[in-house]
Amino acid sequence: MPISRAEIATESGAKLIKRLCKHWTHKLEVEHEEGEGRVAFEDGTCLMQAEADKLVVAIEALDEESLDRLEGVVANHLERMAGDEELVIVWEN
């Protein structure tokens, strides 16, 4: 199973995780604790952990095509949840 990871500079990591988990909880399996989140998609899983100055995101998918799609979905949603804060998201495989 391919894995991708990003470390995103932000001091709002916990808030972004909370917003994202709340957004997806109505249609996906979501686990959320303070500063941590897990979202299960049909073809992969996204794990998020907030640190003081960054948000660490890891995606594990069934195949490369699903990984590419989930990277886009997660990045797009994080950027929307961040509002005016500009996030630089670089995925590393």
User: What pLDDT, in 10s, does the model give residues 62-83?
Assistant: 999 999 999 999 999 999 999 9
Residue 12 is predicted with a pLDDT of 95
Contacts of 75 (CB under 8 A, 6+ apart): 6, 89, 91
* Residue listed under structure tokens 């590419």: 68
Residue 73 is predicted with a pLDDT of 97
Please, are residues 1 and 62 in contact by the beta-carbon 8 Å criterion? yes
Residue 47 is predicted with a pLDDT of 98
For the segment 38-59, the average pLDDT, to the nearest whole number, is: 97
Residue 74 is predicted with a pLDDT of 97
Residue 8 is predicted with a pLDDT of 98
Residue 33 is predicted with a pLDDT of 95
In 43-57, which positions are buried (b, 16+ CB within 10 angstroms) versus exposed (e)? ebbbbbbbeeeebeb
Provide the 3-class DSSP secondary structure of residue 12: coil
